[in-house]
Amino acid sequence: MNELSTTTAGATGASPATVVSVGPVVLPAPDRGEDLQVRVSAPVAGRDDGQRLPVIVFSHGFGWSMDAYAPLVHHWAARGFVVAQPTHLDSRTLALPPDDPRTPLVWRHRVADLTRVLDGLDVLGAAVPGLRGRLDLGRIAVAGHSWGGQTASALLGARVLDAEGLPGEDMSDPRVRAGVLLSTPGTGGADLTPFAAQHFPFMNPGFADMTTPTLVVAGDLDRSPLSVRGPDWFTDPHTASPGPRSLLVVVGAEHSLGGIAGHDVAETTDADPARVALVQQVTTAYLLDVLGVDGAAWAGLRTGLAEGSRPGGRLLSA
């Protein structure tokens, strides 16, 4: 049974907008073992200029689901985006057993989930009251947090390297015009702990072919138990990719970036509404700019963060 909820989300520099959120919307997935559940969030009212709404397809971190990340999702929707959140097979809500034959390939199923969402955007739009025909299929971005960042990066051009360092299958999607990668794991090989190298061979991304415009967000106190490196490991998607890219380093932030998955959840180790607000504002402004909707906020944030007049973060662009 679908759940429909509405909430009023504040947006900096604009009046609060009412957001509608519907889930689960089910997309058939006969080759997946079970159908794909998706939550869709969108503003109730259309854009003032009458144009259609840009789309963000969001990939959750390990164990999460379509019901997480409300601080980010509601903010994006309040600013005029349609956000689609699939529940991946590793979600705790699905309880996939370790000996399930799909488990070793969950990372590939994750990428396929995002592609399936892109294929089903018309269906998803029709499932939300008032949203049919309002999606702008020419303005699509992908985003993800933690393992979801690696998942999203595949659609941007990143490729998993094999044991010899050769790039694997190209899973990029030309429908995707931009990406936002939050607390996304860096390179593999010698940068992984022995445990990670043994159990997570897919954690060996190569960013040399990631040419789609991307914003990378990393915390300067984020230390992963899977890497022998420090917080700079999470900046690799920026430093190792050739495409148009920007990097936001959130000062004082750990893996949760202040609580983007939820302020009061157990995994939020560095709860700070100010950090969440910075991530909300910068990611929103970036996507509005890179998708060609409105560049004013991004220009102002770039100047403020570069000059130090906006505390809490450092922004680099290339």
Q: Give the pLDDT confidence of 189-198 residue by residue, as tens digits.
A: 999 999 999 9
* CATH 3.40.50.1820 holds for 20-96+104-244: yes
| pLDDT value of residue 12 | 40
- Residue 244 has what DSSP assignment? S
Chain-centre distance for alpha carbon 133: 24
**138 C-beta neighbours (distance < 10 Å), count:** 12
User: Residue 10: what pLDDT?
Assistant: 41
Rounded Cα distance between 253 and 259, Å, is 9
How high does pLDDT run on average in the chain?
91
Beta bridge partners of residue 38, listed in sequence order: 25, 86
For the chain, the 3-state helix, strand and coil shares in percent, each to the nearest 5, are: 30, 25, 45
28 phi and psi, to 5 degrees? -60, 135
Q: Kindly tell me if the per-residue pLDDT of 308 is higher than 70.
A: no
Instruction: pLDDT band for 13, please (50, 70, 90 cuts).
Output: very low
37-76 pLDDT, tens per residue?
A: 999 999 987 655 557 999 999 999 999 999 999 999 999 9
pTM, 2 dp: 0.93
Domain ranges of the chain: 20-96+104-244
DSSP three-state, residue 246: strand
150 neighbors 90 (Cβ within 8 angstroms): no
d(CA 66, CA 261): 11
Task: Kindly tell me if the per-residue pLDDT of 2 is higher than 80.
Answer: no
